[in-house]
Amino acid sequence: MPQKLGLVIDMARCTGCQTCVLACRMEHGLEGVSGIRVDTLGGVGRDTAGGCFPHANMQFLPIPCMHCERAPCIESCPDAAIYRRDDGIVVIDETWCSGCGLCLESCVYEVMVELSDKPKVWKCDLCAGRIDEGLEPFCVVCCGMKALRFVDLAEVLQEKETGVSGRHPRQLQPDLNTEPRVYYRPLRPARAR
């Protein structure tokens, strides 16, 4: 049985530096778009904290394609251009994509993008070409804080069952029933003062 691959993102390590966004653009030759975005949690806008001093808080949430087990984009594509590889990675075959945009509307995580230079839709494919060569996704390699980890999902599921750390990985918006293959390790609990 082939490995099922995914990501674990450690929110306690992410500083919102955008290196993952730039790495994606560099690896795929993209301008103005990326297969991952970094949202700010806390305040009303990007890079703004919530709360009041001395209890202000701000967190960063990298959001790549979730490579969902029940991917709405696959179901919505009339061209059958979006499919799941044996390792679980959801990819778009650009030669089949007509650019109709139905997948853009169906993606509940809003991670698919329209390319400006051609009428096609693009998304994170976890650097499938690199994976095929035995390498990790470029965003994982470039993350200086080691907030992104490329994993065999069996490892994640085992950690969730044992509950060793108390910060076991969780899916983003599990109530959407898409069964994402990207997991988030939450922030560490605040220390008592």
Domain residue limits, the chain: 5-185
pLDDT on residue 160 = 67
**Could you write out the three-class secondary structure of 83-145?**
EECCCCCEEECCCCCCCCCHHHHHCCCCCCEECCCCCCEECCCCCHHHHHCCCCCHHHHHCCC
- pLDDT-based confidence at 190, cuts 50/70/90? low
Residues contacting residue 20 through CB under 8 Å, at least 6 positions apart: 36, 38, 62, 64, 139, 142, 143, 148
Report if pTM > 0.85: yes
CB atoms closer than 10 angstroms to residue 117: 9
Query: How do residues 66-112 score in pLDDT, each as one tens digit?
Result: 999 999 999 999 999 999 999 999 999 999 999 999 999 999 999 99
Split at pLDDT 50, 70, 90, the class of 117 is: confident
Instruction: Give residue-wise pLDDT tens across range 134-180.
Output: 999 999 999 999 999 999 998 887 776 666 556 788 999 999 999 99
At position 131, the amino acid (one-letter code) is: I
What tokens were used for 62?
Answer: 């990298």
Q: Contact 179/60 with Cβ under 8 angstroms?
A: no
Tell me what pLDDT residue 44 has.
78
**Angle CA(159)–CA(140)–CA(148) in degrees, nearest 5?**
40
Q: Within 10 Å of residue 182's Cβ, how many Cβ atoms?
A: 26
**CATH class of the domain comprising 5-185:** alpha beta
What lies within 8 Å, CB to CB, of 166 at 6+ separation is: 189
